[in-house]
Each structure stands twice: as C-alpha cells, then as structure tokens.
Amino acid sequence: MLNNLTDTEEGDGGAQSQGDSNPKESSPFINSSEAAAEKNQQYDGKNMALFEEEMDTSPMVSSLLSSLANYSNLPQGCKEHEEAENNEAESARKKPVKAPQLGTLMGVYMPCIQNIFGVILFLRMTWLVGIGGVIGTFIIVFMCCATTMLTAISMSAIATNGVVPAGGSYYMISRSLGPEFGGAVGICFYLGTTYAGAMYILGAIELLLIYIAPKAAIFPLEGLEGAEAEAALLNNMRVYGTILLTSMATVVFVGVKYVNKLALVFLACVILSILAVYAGVIKTGIDPPDFPVCILGNRTLVWKNFDVCAKTIETANGTITTQLWRMFCDSPFLNATCDKYFVANNVTQIQGIPGVTSGVLADNLFGTYYEKGDLIAKPLLESVEDHDDPLTNANRYVLADITSFFTLLVGIYFPSVTGIMAGSNRSGDLRDAQKSIPIGTIAAITTTSFVYMSSVILFGACIEGVVLRDKFGEGVHGNLVIGTLAWPSPWVIVIGSFFSTCGAGLQSLTGAPRLLQAIAKDGIVPALRIFGHGKANGEPTWSLLLTACICESGILIASLDSVAPILSMFFLMCYMFVNLACALQTLLRTPNWRPRFKFYHWALSFLGMSLCLTLMFLCSWYYAIVAMGIAGSIYKYIEFAGAEKEWGDGIRGLSLSAARYALMRLEEGQPHTKNWRPQLLVLVSTDAEQNVEQPRLLSLTNQLKAGKGLTIVGTALEGTYLANYEQAQRADQALRKLMETEKVKGFCQVTVSSNLRDATSHLLQASGLGGLKHNAVLVSWPRNWKQGDENQTWRNFIELVRETTIARLALLVPKNISAFPSNGERFTEGHIDVWWIVHDGGMLMLLPFLLRQHKVWRKCKMRIFTVAQMDDNSIQMKKDLTTFLYHLRIDAMVEVVEMHDSDISAYTYEKTLVMEQRSQMLKQINLTKTEREREIQSITDSSRGSIRRKNPAAVTTQLSVTEEPPATSKEEKPEEESKSASPPVSPPAQVQLIHDNTTPASPATPATPLTPGEEAQSPGEQIQRTWTEKCDGEAAKPLGVTTQDDIKDIFNMKPEWENLNQSNVRRMHTALRLNEVILKKSSEAKLVLLNMPGAPRNRTGDENYMEFLEVLTDGLNRVLLVRGGGREVITIYS
C-alpha cells in the first residue's frame, strides 16, 4: 500500500525530487558506491518506500549495524581509520585483515611490565635509595607511581569512550584536545620515546663497559683520574652507543617481525632478573652473601689492585706490608713514607650485604647528598684528618661522580615508571581494547608500583649505606650493586638487565617512528609530511632515519643521569595532557562522553595533571620551560600553518562553554566607557557573481581593528532563501576569502530577503549574539546615487542612517572608498584631520587613534579642527580643547576655525534651487499610477495658498479633488508614500516646485465650475489624463486656465529665491561654508573625518539630504563621515 501511495504521488516530486539538495554526508557507515537501482531493490518489499528519497543520506538500520559489526581496528602504522573507511573502493581491494587475537595478559599487561621495568631499576635504584634515603626515595617513588596511576585512570576513561584505532596515546590526545594540542603533545611523546631509546642504549653500554667487558674500552681508563677518567668513559659511551644504535636501527629497518619475536625473550630476562633479586633478599635473611667493603678511617676504598683489607699482615716471618700499603706508601717497607691520612687512620672491613635482619634499615632511613668529588664515607666510623691538608690519592677512594639533590633524583627516577602507554599503543591488536586497556594497564602499574616500593625498603634493609651510595660498585670489586643482592649469581642480573635494556631500546626505535608516521599522515604538521611515507609494506623508513638522528643526539650526551630528566619532561607533558583531556571531557559533560570505565572523576584527573606539572618543575625547572616552549611553538605552528581538522575535541567544547559563560556575563549590563571598543558590522554589496564590490572596505576594517573588537561582515541578497541558497553560499565563501586576504578576523553573515532594504534591516537587527553585538556600522557611500537607476540605493542608505540612529549605533561612512589605502601601502607623512563640529560621544577622537596603531597610518599626524561661532571665545576654546586632549592622552595639533556670520550668497540660492528642481524630477522617474495620484493630491493641496499669493491670475485649476487622500494611502505603502514627491501636472503645480513643501495647504476653491460630465470623472482619471498629456509633451489646456505666458516655465525662469524652502537654503549655506573652510585647511590631508548630519525626520527631503552631504564633502579625496551612537566612547579617567 505504501508503495502504491508513493507511486501516485510521484507527480508532486517523488521520483524527480532531490530532497533539499544538500550534499551527501560522508560517513563510514553509508555505502555511497552502490547504484541507484540496487538501492531501490534494497528497499523493495521492505515497507521502506516512504524513506526511499532519503536513502542516500539515511541508511537502513540493518546496514548500519552490519557496518559496525564488521568494523575492525587497523593495525598500527596503517592509514587512519576514518579515511580508510570512507574510501570504499580501496576497502574492497584490501586483503581481509586478520582479526586481532591478543587478550589482556599478552596484549596489555606484559608489554606494560616490559616497558615500565627498565634500566633505572637495575642501574640506579640502589644509588637512589642510598642518596635519598629510604624515606625520601619512597616519597619519590610514591609520587611518580601515583602520577602514572592517575594518568592510567584518565587514559582508561578516554580509551573506553568509543573505539580506539591503532595510534594509541597520540590518537586519544589529538581526538580529545584537538589537532593543535594533539600535534604538540604527540611530538613531545615522540621525542620522549626517542630519548628513551637513547637512555636504554646508554644503559646497555654502561653495563657492557663497566660490568661485563671493561677491557673492551677504546679509551682506556687505567691510570686516569678525575676529569680525564670521566672524559674517557663518556667517549667510550659515545662510540659504543653509536655502534649499538646503528645495529638496532638496521634490525628495525630489516623487519619489525624480528623485534616482536625477541620481545618475549627480553621480557623473560626482566622477570627472571626481578625474581633473582627477591630470591637474594630472602637468602640474606638466612645466609648473607660475602661482599666485604674496605674502609680507611670512614672513607670507602676502591677495591681494586689489592686483595686484603689491611695495612700489614702478621706472618711467621714477622709483619709484612700488603698491596694496600703499597698503594699509599712510596715503598713496601715499614719505614716508608706514607699518606698522612693513611697513617693516621685504621683500615676496617665491613660486610656490604649485612642482610634483611641486620637492622641496617635504621641507618639508611635518611638521605645523604653529595657535591661532585665528595668522598663516600661511613658516618659512624672515626676519622682523623687535617682539613687543611689537600686530598691525595683521590683515585683510591670511592667519590661522588655528580652533585646530587632531591629534585635530581626525581628526574632520574621518573623514566622508570614510564611505559604505561604500551597497551594503548597496541589497541589495534587487541581482541577487546575497551576491556583490556583499563584492566591490563592498571594491573601493570599496580604490580610495578609494588615492586618499586618494596625494592626501596628491601634495599635499605639489606645493603650497607656506603655500598648503596657507590653508584658503580667500585667498593665491592666492581660488581653491579643490585647484582650483589641477587641469587644465585650477580651475573643473572648483569646479563638479564643488558638484554632487557637492548630490548627496550629496540622497542623505542620501533614505536617512535610509527608515532611520527601517524602524526605525519594526519597532516596537521605540514613540515612533517615527508615522514608519512615509507616502504611498500608501510614501514616508516624516513621516520626511522629521523628517529635515529635524534637518538644519536641523546647518545652524544653520553650520561644516563643527564638524558633521564630530558625524557622525563616529555613524558610528563604527555601524561599531563591525558589528564587534562579527561578532566575537560568530564566537566564539559559532552554528550558523546560515555566511557565504559566508570572509576574516574574529574578531581582525580586534575590531581594527576597537577602532579605532572609539579614533577616537571621538580625534575628540572629549565628543562620544563624548554619542553613547554617546544610544545607551545609546535602548537602555534599547527594553529597557523597546519591543516584544519575537526575531531570533535574537548578544546572546542571548552571554547563553546567559555563563550557561553562570557556571553552570559556580557548580558549583565552595558560595558563601561573604558571597555568600549568598536564592534563593527561591515555592510558590503556583491555583484551578480557574488564577488564583493568594495574590497577596500575590508582593508579599512583591518586598519580600524586596533581596538580588537568584534567584526561581522554582512551582505544582503534579494529573493527567497530556498531559491537563492547556492548564491548565499557563494557569497559566504567570497566574504570568507576576502576576509582572509585582508586579514580581517571575524564572522561573516549573508541574509536573503524579498528586497535589499529588508535584508539590510535584518542584518542590522539580528547580527551578533547576546551582549556580543555590533555597536558601529561601517558602510560605503552609495556610488552614482544621482543616476536614475540608482534611485533605490540612496533611499536604502538614508533608511540605514535612520535605523542606526534609532538603534543608538555609531555609523561610519567612507566616501571615495576606492581611494583609501590598501593594507600594503604606507604613508610616510601627512595628516589625519578631524573636524569636530558637534560632540556625539567622542568617536571622532577615538577613530584616528585606532587608525594610527596600524602601519598604514602610523606616521600620519593628527590634527583636530573645531568651529567657533561669533559669540564664542576661540582662544579659550583652543585652551580647553588642548587640555581635554591632554587628559585623553591623545597627541594632536589643535586649531579653532572661526566662522563669521555672512549673508547667504546668490550661489547658495542657485544651488538650492537646482537641488529642489532636480529632486522633484527624480521623484517622477519610477512612479506608479497610485503614487502619481497621491503626489498630485498632496501637491495640489499644499500649493494653492502659495500660488495664489504668488500669482493670483494663475489660481485657476482644472482638478477637483476631495479633501480625503486616496484609499491606498499610508497603511498600505508608508515607505513609498513618504519617499514619493509631486510631478509637475499643470502650470500651477509647476510653480509649486519652488515652494516650501511644508507650507500648510489651503482649502480647494476652484475658480471655474466643472461640467457635469467632468464631475463624473474620478479624480484619479483626471489626474492620469493630465499626467499623460504633460508627459507626451502636449500643452494641457483645461477649462478656465490662464495662458501659458502667465506662467513661468521652470527651466527658463530665473530662481525666485523668496519661494525656496528656507530650511534647505540654510542647510545649503552651512554645507557650502563648511566645505569651503575644510578645503582651505585640509585639502592636502590623507584623511578627513567629520561629523555626519542626521537624516531628515520627515521623508520629503531625503534626496536633498544626499545633496547636502555631497556639497559638504565636495573636493575632498578621502572622507570618513562619522555619526556617534549617542553614548560616550572615550574617557579621561584611567
């Protein structure tokens, strides 16, 4: 039945209808490549004919659900899922992607464990406990672990708010905070991952050269002390680090599959190493290992090149000296000359690993911080030393290699808790990412946090303080300190940690290029587009090359302790924005914010963000500033040069909320005068192709925007909205393009109405929103308004003047707009002249100040002219004006122009007469029949008395009209009636052309009665007949009219000045006198600003108003007519 009904209604727009002609929405769930016939078949027999016209934009629910069910995450490194889904043809050609199979354990938990446990745990954790103390280090660990846990909670909320394609953390941040923040934080995360690779490589080389194969050093350390030994070690690190980086990059380039296969091996090494440490801790409680430490006085000795921790040994043959004696004395004999400190102090051997039950924890509770080069000493032992003696044999003692302080420890430790994004980075490979990411990540952080916190306590309880503070294990035969604790052998830790650091480095070199490739493919950073390309299989070759180069810069630093704070900055910034994204989405209550993970709160996110920011400045305040500067620079670069993306991000939602709040605040009341700034509504006209006709109007708008106010550029189109939608869109695009060209920041608005007058009025009334509305209108002077075909243009202009007055809006009218400078021009000298005739709020003072802020007008000087009348004290006026400008803080020259009273010149009368004659002729051009009837009615009524007084013989009339106006008068066409004027119907009416239209009309008393036949004629018919005769050029000879010689023809007679409208004469006199003075003073000015007179209150003199303004500005090149809005816009108060 529905099908039949649709068929019968096709004539009304069924088959031929194209809906609302809107372009089809691009959606991954709409199959747009099918033929129309197939679509019709899809709806046939399904009772869906009622919706068949919308099938292009509205798919059936079944097809939508099918698309959702078949949706699969793309593997990491592939095209972004939106683009791939939109391209249906490409999707059809793609090979089917293998369904992801990884669960929570192998997909999230284990990768996070591998990435979190790393080089810091094995190489620096014991040293951190020794320097910071158990309490201080526990605080550091707790802060860092709490930060990552809060970040993981925020990340879980974001990750479970919809499908997370491959791209992980970058995808989440960019889609939550927008392309600018996403790009900035994404690049910071990339740099952090890259420098993490450098840190892992440096850790591997440190293990190799110090603990595994010290003899492999290219720059030997033997015999070197102090700075020389340090330089040799760093050079070795640089050489071997570069070799290892090259090898790793080659492996990654050859194939990631090898890295993935080795990942499980590296993960096994990490787990075995940690288990070995816990086993060793348990063993210390039963049978502590034997790791003696030799101490001279209270100074820890480097246990190298001696075997016994004693000065002498008692044997059967007597007392003999040891190798330790020979290190501090010049000969092996007992009478040798020895080091003073060696002689004065005893040698003590203590146990380096006293065990968990020894009570050493109490000694290690508090930290001991050192300056670089300080001796690592045991505080409880006695030491006899002369502080005046210089330190000798420094290479025999264990020394502090760097200056240590609490914040340094934070920076060095924090990289050991990074890696929490490993699970989300693999979201494309997970069977159920929304379930696995929160559980796996939080479980991994819980596990690692427990390990780290327990390690702090166990290390402090098992290991002697001097051994903990011995970074490289020099006092325990060069063993790795954590290795001394491990069971069954220190080599378990050494070998395990070496392979785990190599594996972590490979993972960094694998993940960082893919992250950069994802950023490059998004197109938000134009400079990185080249790095979006790779090998045929999608491997990011160019990104790998850049990553290797950046990683090499970290290796050249060569110090693990210096690289760690750098990557801490980048990771902390990334985590901070993850927390910010979650907090924003939660507080803004975005309708699309519906995460499955429910255990989050905006307060937790803000706490995590605050912790991240705190840790950034704790680690290194100058690194934090540099990192934020880098992120800020990237943000601004993307904002100005990046591709525009709309991802429904939270920052846009924040902008909407902030805008709503600000608009509500603006509604509370009018802004104070100090806060007043020009909020411009710029009215422009467009041609038939919807191109702007006055582009220089936008240039002037740009030059006026030193006030940083609102700008709305509007245009009006004639017609109906439905029929002119395409033209409106083209006009909107033309406005936007011109605004971009002229660098005008603001909004554009196109209004369509049945006539241009109404459309302009709608723009004036409806533009803006709430308190953010325009307070000034900028419109160009109507060109060629004197031409007959431009009649409606100047009428619209005058109506606009009236509307701005009633709406209390300022009006700016540039005349000769084509002569105004473009934004690229520069005036090297000249003046901006202000003619301050009447005070209307101070706009005349403010506008030149704003213009001079722009580079076009910057070098122009400001002059202010004001007019003094006969009874004014011009000297006092000048003083007062100078004082007023001083208080306004405006630098300008002041001149008072005296205008003496003078007789009205003959030229003024001539000009007024010509104006009135011309205005009457203009009114005849497009009059309809009804308008003619009304005009002749009004002119006849108003002229009889004047004409009778002027020429009694000519007071005969052929018309007999009633006192009442025609039926179609005011209520029907008030605007037309007000604008219309009287045509010269008969000689008496012609004489009235030079009479005052405001003269009250005398009653009609015809001198000659009409015949009955003439009486039967309607007034309209008689009027129409007379008009036709006059228009045809024939002489009208009605009954009773005097001869033509008695009436003076309007085009041949001399002006009879006493009959002119005296108000018009006075206005013309003022316009001519002012124009004369302005031309005399400001003819060379670059710009003249002067008060714009208001439009006449009655509409009978509209065309005269235009003539007055034309005369007032005659001969001036650039004029800006200014009409204030009736309120003060400038103040002397601060």
Which of 237-246, 355-364, 767-776, 939-948 has the lowest average pLDDT? 939-948
Which of 45-54, 213-222, 749-758 has the lowest average pLDDT? 45-54
The predicted structure's pLDDT at residue 791: 66
Element of type H or E holding 98: none
* Tally of CA atoms within 13 A in the half-sphere of 6 that contains its CB: 17
Average pLDDT score over residue span 481-504: 89
The predicted structure's pLDDT at residue 578: 87
Residue 109 DSSP one-character state? I
The predicted structure's pLDDT at residue 888: 76
Residue with the larger pLDDT of the pair 902 and 1014: 902
**Single-letter amino acid, residue 165:** P
Interacting residues of 952 by C-beta distance below 8 A, sequence separation 6+: none
Give me the helices (H) in 642-715, please.
Answer: 650-666, 695-703
The predicted structure's pLDDT at residue 288: 87
Question: What pairs with residue 314 in β-bridges?
Answer: 319
- Residue 787, exposed/middle/buried by CB under 10 A (0-12, 13-18, 19+)? exposed
| pLDDT tens digits along 668-717 | 666 666 556 778 899 888 888 888 888 888 888 888 875 567 788 999 88
**How far is the C-alpha of 481 from the C-alpha of 463, rounded, in Å?**
9
The 10 Å Cβ neighbour count of residue 1110 is: 16
Closest by CA to 170, choosing from 157, 154, 181, 156, is: 181
pLDDT at 1102 > cutoff 60: yes
Confidence of residue 479 (pLDDT cuts 50, 70, 90): confident
Question: What pairs with residue 348 in β-bridges?
Answer: 295
Average pLDDT score over residue span 796-819: 87
Contact status, residue 446 vs residue 124, Cβ threshold 8 Å: no
The predicted structure's pLDDT at residue 917: 59
Strands 711-718 and 747-753: parallel
**Given phi > 0 = left and psi -120 to 50 = alpha, else beta, which region is 1033?**
left
- Two structure tokens written together for 277: 């440490």
Confidence of residue 16 (pLDDT cuts 50, 70, 90): very low
Residue with the larger pLDDT of the pair 282 and 879: 282
Residue 706 DSSP one-character state? G
Average pLDDT score over residue span 137-157: 94
The predicted structure's pLDDT at residue 177: 72
pLDDT at 589 > cutoff 90: no
Crossing angle of the two packed helices 602-619 and 560-588, in degrees rounded to 10: 160
Cα 438 to Cα 100, 167, 171, 754, 1064: the distances in Å are 18, 16, 16, 59, 84
Cα 878 to Cα 839, 873, 883, 1083: the distances in Å are 15, 9, 9, 22
pLDDT at 935 > cutoff 90: no
- What percentage of residues in the chain have a pLDDT greater than 70? 72
pLDDT at 966 > cutoff 60: no
**How far is the C-alpha of 636 from the C-alpha of 181, rounded, in Å?**
10
For the ranges 97-101, 255-259, 608-612, 618-622, the maximum mean pLDDT occurs at 608-612
Which of 192-206, 227-241, 1043-1057, 1081-1095 has the lowest average pLDDT? 1043-1057
Strands 680-684 and 776-779: parallel
The predicted structure's pLDDT at residue 913: 60
Average pLDDT score over residue span 159-170: 71
pLDDT at 1048 > cutoff 70: no
SS3 (DSSP) at 334: coil
The 10 Å Cβ neighbour count of residue 374 is: 14
| pLDDT tens digits along 23-48 | 433 444 434 444 444 444 554 444 55
Cα 1066 to Cα 41, 557, 911, 1073, 1107: the distances in Å are 81, 87, 12, 11, 13
pLDDT at 394 > cutoff 60: yes
Average pLDDT score over residue span 59-88: 48
Read off the pTM.
0.65
Core vs surface per residue 992-1013: b (16+ CB within 10 A) or e:
bbbbbbebebbeeeeeeebeee
- Residue 857, exposed/middle/buried by CB under 10 A (0-12, 13-18, 19+)? buried
DSSP string, 578-592: HHHHHHHHHHHT-TT
| pLDDT tens digits along 969-980 | 333 333 333 333
Core vs surface per residue 395-412: b (16+ CB within 10 A) or e:
ebbbbbbbebeeebbbbb
pLDDT at 130 > cutoff 90: yes
**How far is the C-alpha of 412 from the C-alpha of 415, rounded, in Å?**
7
Edge-to-edge strand ranges of the sheet holding 680-684: 747-753, 711-718, 680-684, 776-779, 810-815, 1119-1123, 1087-1091, 831-836, 861-868, 893-898
Crossing angle of the two packed helices 226-254 and 490-522, in degrees rounded to 10: 60
- Two structure tokens written together for 432: 């159920």
Residue with the larger pLDDT of the pair 1067 and 573: 573
Element of type H or E holding 866: strand 861-868
What are the percentages of helix, strand and coil residues in the chain, rounded to 5?
55, 10, 35
pLDDT at 369 > cutoff 50: yes
Q: How many residues does the chain have?
A: 1134
Contact status, residue 249 vs residue 510, Cβ threshold 8 Å: no
Residue with the larger pLDDT of the pair 811 and 1134: 811
Report how many helices (DSSP H) and strands (DSSP E) the chain contains, helices first: 39, 15
Cα 33 to Cα 453, 1027, 1131: the distances in Å are 59, 68, 65
Residue with token string 């009804």? 930
Sign of CA dihedral 955, 960, 964, 965: negative
At 375, phi and psi to the nearest 5? -80, 140
Contact status, residue 3 vs residue 9, Cβ threshold 8 Å: no
For the ranges 64-78, 852-866, 944-958, 1001-1015, the maximum mean pLDDT occurs at 852-866
**How far is the C-alpha of 415 from the C-alpha of 418, rounded, in Å?**
5
- Two structure tokens written together for 280: 């060793």
The predicted structure's pLDDT at residue 373: 86
Contact status, residue 878 vs residue 867, Cβ threshold 8 Å: no
The predicted structure's pLDDT at residue 32: 42
Contact status, residue 561 vs residue 527, Cβ threshold 8 Å: no
pLDDT at 912 > cutoff 70: no
Which of 232-241, 255-264, 629-638 has the lowest average pLDDT? 255-264
Contact status, residue 160 vs residue 437, Cβ threshold 8 Å: yes
**Single-letter amino acid, residue 939:** I
**How far is the C-alpha of 766 from the C-alpha of 750, rounded, in Å?**
11
Confidence of residue 604 (pLDDT cuts 50, 70, 90): very high
Contact status, residue 574 vs residue 196, Cβ threshold 8 Å: no
The 10 Å Cβ neighbour count of residue 841 is: 20
Longest dimension (CA), the chain: 171
**How far is the C-alpha of 474 from the C-alpha of 239, rounded, in Å?**
23
The predicted structure's pLDDT at residue 159: 83
The predicted structure's pLDDT at residue 440: 92
The predicted structure's pLDDT at residue 1128: 61
Contact status, residue 299 vs residue 377, Cβ threshold 8 Å: yes
Question: What dihedral do alpha carbons 855, 856, 859, 864 form, nearest 10°?
Answer: -120
**How far separated are the first and last CA of the chain, in Å rounded?**
78
Average pLDDT score over residue span 581-606: 86
Contact status, residue 464 vs residue 481, Cβ threshold 8 Å: no
The predicted structure's pLDDT at residue 134: 95
- Two structure tokens written together for 193: 């991952």
Edge-to-edge strand ranges of the sheet holding 299-300: 299-300, 292-296, 347-351
Residue with token string 């951190």? 128
Confidence of residue 1030 (pLDDT cuts 50, 70, 90): very low
**How far is the C-alpha of 895 from the C-alpha of 897, rounded, in Å?**
6
